[in-house]
Amino acid sequence: MKSIYIVFVTLFAALSMSVFAAPMTIPMGKHLEKGVTCAQCHKENPPAKAVPFEKCESCHGNNDAMAKRTEKVEPNPHFNHLGDVTCTECHKNHSESVLICSNCHKFNLKTP
């Protein structure tokens, strides 16, 4: 964890002050571990804007593809009655992810 922190500190130091204000309490999790770089998601340099869901789909596939991957999960978060929910409505890359179903349900699902 410490090394990850250092990477971030260095990164931040290189970025402008306004970027500093971004909430990065949970920096990237698996993406960092797997070596996914800022530029693979953010087309602007330095990163400053939210990333469109199409970017996520370019690596992971769309909801239909994801639904197959999590078909054993009950209920399947990627195939639901709300329809085509975009990835980033639930998965927050730099902060705690959410489960939008929880506005109405209490499922035992944890969103990575």
Partner 1 sequence: MGTLTRRSLLKSGLAAVGAGTVAMMGRPSSAEAATTQKVGKAQTFDAVIVGAGCAGLACAIEVHDQGGKPVVLEKMGRPSGNAIFALGSVCVTGTRLQKEQGIDDDSVEQFYQDMMKVSLQRGDPELTRFYAENSAEAFHWLVDKIGVKFKKIIKAPYPRFGRIHRIDGEGITGGGMLIRKLLAAAKARGIPVLYHTKAVELLTNLKMEVTGVRALTPEGLKDFNAKGGVLIASGGFSANREMLTMYMGGWAANLATRGSPYVTGENIALTKPLYAQLVHMDQFHGGPIVAATHVNPADILNAGYGIIVSMQGQRVIDEASTYVAKAKTLPRVTKENRAFQICDSNSKNPQLAGMIKKYTHLNSPFYQAETLEELAKLTDIPAEALIKTVNEYNDALKNNAPAQLNPPNTLKTPYAVETAPYYAFPFEGGMTATFGGPKINVRAEVVNTEQQTIPGLYAAGNAAGGLFYNDYIGGCQLGGATIFGRVAAKEMVARSKKA
- What residues make contact with ligand HEC under the rule CB under 6 A? 11, 19, 22, 28-31, 34, 36, 38, 40-42, 47-51, 53, 55-60, 62-63, 66, 69-70, 73, 75, 77-78, 80-82, 85, 87-95, 99-101, 103-105, 109, 111-112
Distance between CA atoms of 83 and 10, rounded to whole angstroms?
Answer: 40
Q: Name the binder of 91 from partner 1, ligand HEC, none, CB < 5-8 A by kind.
A: ligand HEC
1: which DSSP letter? -
What are the backbone dihedrals phi and psi of residue 106, each rounded to the nearest 5 degrees, phi first?
-125, 70
CA 76 from chain centre, in angstroms, equals: 18
Which of 39/71 has CB closer to partner 1?
Answer: 71
